Structure 1
Amino acid sequence: MKKQTWKSLTISLLVMIVVLAGCGKSSEESSGDNKAAKGKIFKIGINQYVEHPSLDEATVGFKEAIKENGLKVDYDEQNAQGDTNSVQTMAKKMVSENVDLIFANATPSAQASLNATSDIPIIFASVADPVGAKLVKSMDHTGPNITGTTHTNPHAIPKTVAFIDEQTDAKTVGLIYNKGEINAVSQVNSVKAAMKGTDLLPVEATVTTSAEVKQAAQSLVGRADVFYIVTDNTVVSALESVIGVARNKNIPLFVGELDSVKRGGFAAYGFDFREVGYEAGKMAVKVLKGEKKPSELPVQYPKDLRLVINKKAAKEMGVKIKPEWEKEADFIK
């Protein structure tokens, strides 16, 4: 009987030792992974669709988040300058170089990157409609290797349309956009939807390249009481052309983000694109450290929505600042 009892105790003790050894090993492996992440030099490919202040700021924000989290990174930065063929070539190059992660800045860059790989993690930013662009199934259910941040706050367009309707005498809103850019088409459709129930009517002019933007703006003179430029990469990259027409013809120019207000737009309900990029960078850190998979990270959007008005632009476009705006808006002089 005693023999049997000692035998049972011995077996139990051996089991406990094995379990504890396993736990210790698991802990060491986890610690080892973290040390490896800290010591490793990661290679990140940056695929940016076009060069303009908003996208540039998103890239700056992305890098800030990476740096603040102490990761060592070698960046391969590529800019397609608005060329859809180049954006595909860039994505394929990054895949062939077996980068650790791709930061896809803008919708065409994200689509090209996803077409090029189903294995390498992709974190996108500056994408207006990730679901419409077929990057993710939903904002909460992302793809196996892709997630990121959208720059579309659901209240931005409705608030802008409401401001135009209630605070100006405008009846027609001039919309300039690239019909081939899903990002822009989605936003223009949202603008039209927001106009239902108001007295506002959309007046459209479409472009295919930034060289056509000035002519498109001029074609709306006499037809549009105000301009509203959404975050269309093609148009925003040539925003100064629209600003020039708006100034010369006293047409208030509403824009889709704060960087465009700084450049000379009259007003926007928006946020800093650096925040959009920074949030994407935080997501990239979690993926590179092995803490999360892209599929475990829902798409994020900026929540700090602000009305910003450029007083100098208002004067140049014949807009008188109303006292009641002082309570809600931040002003750029």
Structure 2
Amino acid sequence: MMKRMLLLMVVGFMVILVACGDGEGESGDVDSEDNQADNELTRDEADFVVGVSQIVEHPSLDRATEGFQEALADAGLEVFYDVSLAQGDNQNAQLIAEKFVSDDVDLIFGNSTPSTQSALNETQDIPIVFTSVTDPVGAGLVDSMEDPGGNVTGTADMHPDAVPQAVELVEDLGYDSIGLVYNSGEQNSVRQIELVNEVASESGLETHEATVSASSEVMQAAESLIGQADVFLIITDNTVVSALESVLSVGQNEDMPVFVSELDSVERGGFAGFGFDYFDIGYEAGEKAAQVLQDGVSPGDIPASYPQNLFLQINEDAAEKMGVELTDELTERAEIVTTEEEGE
């Protein structure tokens, strides 16, 4: 008991350190001093206190948090954001949820599957709105997308057509095998890998898997697939995406194109991906949160939703580095971008 109380005190201190404001800071700096300064309202001055639990810091999740905050600002709500990053640790996510419940926040925003599951484990009374969740029903968060029930609703981050179209592109480019690096401890990742294997099998493509439990293992896992797979397909796995540069390095050294599942990851150096802007699903989650806070609607009565827009992006710099020749047909299908550093 004493040890648990000590851990809660530590998490409480972490939450204070990463408290941030209205989302006007730079994307990716949710725990920066700039974003802390943006939270102009004190807890007592604000109309609502929202606890934001984000599993790890990486550009896509940061964009979702930014979109969520902007939606509430656009709704005219004065909100104090109590933000905490779990550093990729599910136990931290659980302790963060405990603290939010102890503080009796008005709403919890879960940015990832484990963050939202942790919140739901702690409360059926405080409203919970999620985003960046791959399979809300399979994760036990909602009864159905149309009729969530309970105290949870939100936006998923997996478009039903994303995996089939990605696998089809791999096949169209003449590759025979796909390398998959993922954290088998993430429920959303396991579901996606099952889907990739199913679609690849129907297309006659082989898949080879390498699992990790921490971002420090990603490089070794990617290297283990050299000689087995022709390409990498990186799903929306929080652990792997936070260490994406490790996979990109292997892809460039071995001429193994890295297909990704987030547009932010294309700009970071992935070869190609079917995706959407995480800001948009965060914003839509924020609109649902506004219904809860402003209008008193029960989350269980607000349908959960999938991303609305899906399109192909190709990084021409990454294509060159990974040995992919871009045909006219391919460039006509896609939005062409460059790597983030070179494109700025």
Q: TM-score, normalised by structure 2?
A: 0.84
Per-residue CA deviations over 1:125-171 (Å, capped at 9, x if unaligned) read 000000111111111121311010001110010000011112x2211
Alpha-carbon offset, residue 114 of structure 1: 0.1
**Which amino acid is 1:53 matched to?**
P
- 1:169 matched to which residue of 2? 174
The answer as to whether partners of 1:104 and 1:123 remain within 8 angstroms in 2 is yes
Which of residues 264, 267, 271 is equivalent to 1:262?
A: 267
* Matching residue of 1:62: 68
Equivalent of 1:292 in 290, 297, 303? 297
Q: Which residue of 1 aligns with 2:190?
A: 185
Matching residue's letter, 1:152: M
Report the counterpart of residue 3 of structure 1 in structure 2: none
Q: Which residue of 2 aligns with 1:227?
A: 232
**Does 2:134 align with 1:128?**
yes
Q: For residues 1-333 of structure 1, what are the structure 2 equivalents within 5 Å?
A: 41-166=47-172, 168-333=173-338
Structure 1 unaligned regions, length at least 5: 1-38
Q: Which has the larger radius of gyration?
A: 1
Deviations 1:236-255 (A, max 9, x none): 01001001110111100000
C-alpha distance in 1 between matches for 2:329 and 2:322? 19
Matched residue SS, 1:177: strand
Distance 2:153 2:122 in 1: 15
Give secondary structure in 1 for the equivalent of 2:203.
coil
Deviations 1:201-232 (A, max 9, x none): 11000001100000000000111100000000
Check conservation: 1:47, 1:103, Cα contact below 8 A: yes
Task: Tell me the distance in 1 between the aligned counterparts of 2:174 and 2:63.
Answer: 34
Between 213-222 and 291-300, the greater mean CA deviation after superposition: 291-300
1:234-293 deviation line (CA, Å, top 9, x unaligned): 100100100111011110000011010010000000001011100000000000012521
Alignment partners' CA distance in 2, 1:289 and 1:296: 15
1-structure distance, mates of 2:84, 2:202: 44
- AA in 1 matched with 2:117: Q
Deviation per CA, 1:40-95: give whole Å up to 9, x if none: 61000000001111101100000010111110001100100101111000000000
- Given residue 134 of structure 1, which amino acid in structure 2 is its aligned partner? G
Q: CA RMSD in A?
A: 1.0
Counterpart Cα distance in 2 of 1:298 and 1:238: 33
Aligned partners of 1:150 and 1:276 also within 8 Å: yes
Kept after mapping to 2: 8 A contact 1:135/1:143: no
The alignment-based identity, stated in percent, is 51
**Structure 1 letter corresponding to 2:275:** G
Q: Give 1:295 deviation, angstroms.
A: 1.0
For the residue of structure 2 that corresponds to 1:254, the secondary structure is strand
Match for 1:139: what amino acid? M
The question of whether the paired residues in 2 share the 8 Å contact of 1:105 and 1:125 is answered with yes
Deviations 1:96-140 (A, max 9, x none): 000000000000000000001000000000000001111111111
- Partners of 2:224 and 2:272 lie apart in 1 by 22
Q: How far apart are residue 322 of structure 1 and its match?
A: 1.0
Report the equivalent of 2:342.
none
Please state how far the C-alpha of 1:321 moved relative to its aligned partner: 0.2
Q: Could you tell me which residue of structure 1 aligns to residue 30 of structure 2?
A: none
Distance 2:202 2:179 in 1: 18
In 2, the alpha carbon distance for the partners of 1:74 and 1:87 equals 20
The residue type paired with residue 49 of structure 1 is: I
- The AA in structure 2 aligned to 1:144 is G
**SS of aligned partner of 2:70:** helix
